[in-house]
A and B are shown apart, each in its own frame.
Chain A
Amino acid sequence: MDREFINSYNDYVNNGNAWFNLNPLSKLWICMCIGLSAVVVRHWQFGFSLCIFYCIAALIIGIFPRFIKNYITISVLVILLTIVIRQFSMRDPNFTPFINILGWQWYKEPFIAALNIISYIMGFSGALLIYFQTTEMRDLMLALENRGVTHVASYIMLSSMQSVIDMRQSAQTILESQKSRGIETDGNIIVRMKAFFPTLGPILLSAMSGTEEKAIAMDARAFSHNGGHTYLRVLRPIPVWEYICDGLALVFLICSIVWKVLSMTGRV
């Protein structure tokens, strides 16, 4: 048996580096403050600067490949949708012609408006993406439990996420058994849909009965026991510098609010 692995539970949770080891709630606070600043400022230069900042941060904390993959996917969707919608929805004869793509005239003002929207969506989603790519949900739940959230609520949250995975596996099993009975499950989208929709009923029913059995199994593990609860994994106590980081993040958000107010009143 791996004694080193067992002994690792004697230490505080160690997820690798300083950013990963931040208390999940502190980390959430920092990410939300930075992300919200993009929503407050709503300026493309600020938003895109944040995007670059996220990329550098992802590189430093060691999640760049998966971060950039997801971030680009989100960006492409958001950029295309927003620019197209803005070009169609904003109409004014005084708009400045910008570029012409195969006879489709683009104007500068809707383009800038789209960039502003894109920048705050990307500025906010980048922060969230970094958060969820560097935080295990069980650590977040553990941090919430430490702040008084019941372990029942925590279990419901974590279990719901696992249910999605279980349901996906059930769907796959049902589809494979359909296939083995000679029912066509591969091919064009119509064929796939025809094969998939009838499986929804059994998937939901099995998920429901599984939930009941799981509730009983958890009861056997003293889930509703009223005495004190202990934890195998323990998050490290929050150090002072982490509180300082939280404070700085708040100051950053406040500064962005002040800048926005001043810019709206024409003082900057």
Chain B
Amino acid sequence: MAFIELKDVSYKYPYTKDFALQNVTCSFEKGKFYGIIGENGGGKTTLCNLIRGLIPHFYLGKLTGECLVEGKDIRDWDTAELSSKIGYVFQNPFTQISGIKPTVFEEVAIGLENLGVPKDVMLERVAKVCEQLDIGHLIKNNPNELSGGQRQRVAFASIIAMDTDTLVIDEPTSQLDPEGTENVFNIINQLKHSNKTIILVEHKIDLIAEFCDEILVMENGTIAFSGPTKEVLTKRELMDHNAAIPEVAKFGHAMADAGKPLSEIPVTLEKAFSLVQERSAR
């Protein structure tokens, strides 16, 4: 059974004319890693807000259709209860810092304090997460004085520390350098292996291709494509929908167009390398 299920959902923000989501139907199963991609304004963040319950609890607007979390309609969920089930890392790192804690260590621990986690567990978990996210050297710093990338990692750490079953992560690497991005993706991958459900909005398509189990491509508030990562990212039509596709997939299509097709369209560099080797051997 799907953990989160959307049935013909449409949503319009207050005081706006256009629908941010239109007739969206999809489902998310436990333990899977989902990637959401698409152009800006396509409805990715709105979808995350809905899954996390911010719509309709914070953003009123007009919501139709059904969004079920564990079979219960999102309208009937208490947001406080939902916060202990679904962690949400937001796009903007600057508003994710509480502003009331003088050290990064305390900032990361806020969620655990709110959840009533015992102090010894809290200390252990926060220290582990800080180490994982490579912010161990920042634990004594004031979170209000960090750079965008550092804040993003701190915000991410605070949500990971809460150890929720599901994580909705909206562009967690927008302010990070390549090394930081790789580090975050590795952590997300580790989380996936600890049987967490992950819903990730990201533009870095090569990393999405490498890690995600399934992909949703959003366009103008609708789901243009969805399905297993490889299946979606090898569709030629994707290129007509302004959605980014991996460079190696483009290469695979170009090879086919040139009459020298690979045995399949690759979506990861590793796969592309083996397919090219295989072709050369032929």
A-side interface residues toward B, CB under 8 Å? 1-2, 5-6, 9-10, 138, 151, 155, 158-159, 162-163, 165-166, 210, 213-234
Contact B83 A213 (CB under 8 A): no
Main secondary structure on A side of the interface with B: helix
Minimum CB distance partner of A10 in chain B: B123
Which residues 144-196 of B sit at the A interface, judged by CB distance below 8 A? 144, 155, 158-159, 162
Q: List 24 A-B contacts (CB under 8 A).
A: A2-B140, A151-B114, A162-B100, A213-B90, A216-B54, A217-B97, A218-B98, A219-B54, A219-B80, A219-B83, A220-B88, A220-B96, A220-B111, A220-B159, A223-B114, A225-B80, A225-B81, A225-B115, A226-B81, A227-B116, A229-B113, A230-B122, A232-B122, A233-B106
- Which residues of B lie under 8 Å from residue A215 when comparing CB positions? 58
Q: Which of B16-24, B27-35, B130-138, B237-245 contacts A (4 or more CB under 8 A)?
A: B130-138
List, in ascending order, chain A residues with CB within 8 A of B140's CB: 2, 5
CB < 8 Å neighbour of A217 from B79, B98, B119, B162:
B98
With an 8 A cutoff between CB atoms, is B259 at the interface?
no
Measured as residues with beta carbon below 8 angstroms from the partner, the interface class of chain B is 35 or more
Knowing A1-B127, A165-B144, say if A217 contacts B100 (CB, 8 Å).
Answer: no
Asked whether, in the complex, the Cβ of B102 is within 8 Å of the Cβ of A138, the reply is: yes
18 additional contacts, CB 8 Å, given A6-B126, A166-B144? A2-B139, A6-B123, A138-B101, A138-B102, A158-B99, A159-B99, A210-B95, A216-B90, A220-B89, A225-B115, A226-B80, A229-B113, A230-B112, A230-B116, A230-B122, A232-B106, A232-B113, A232-B122
The answer to whether B80 touches A224 (Cβ under 8 A) is yes
B256 at the interface (CB under 8 A from A): no
User: Cβ of B200 < 8 Å from any Cβ of A?
Assistant: no
Enumerate the 4 nearest inter-chain pairs by beta-carbon distance, A residue then B residue, closest first.
Answer: A1-B136, A213-B95, A228-B116, A162-B99
Given A213-B92, A232-B106: A221 in contact with B144 (beta carbons within 8 A)? no
On B, residues with C-beta under 8 Å from A are 52, 54, 58, 79-81, 83-84, 87-90, 92, 95-102, 105-106, 109-119, 122-123, 126-127, 130-131, 136-137, 139-140, 144, 155, 158-159, 162
| CB atoms of A220 and B100 under 8 A apart | no
B114: shortest Cβ distance to chain A, in Å?
Answer: 4
Are B98 and A220 within 8 A (Cβ)? no
A227–B90 alpha-carbon span in the complex (Å) = 24
Question: Smallest distance from the beta carbon of A256 to chain B beta carbons, Å?
Answer: 37
Tell me the complex Cα distance, A222–B98, Å.
12
A1–B92 CA distance with the chains assembled, in angstroms: 27
In the complex, what distance in Å separates the CA atom of A9 from the CA atom of B97? 21
Q: Which residues of B contact A233 (CB under 8 A)?
A: 106
Query: What's the minimum C-beta distance from B136 to chain A, rounded to whole angstroms?
Result: 4
| Contact B95 A214, beta carbon cutoff 8 Å | yes
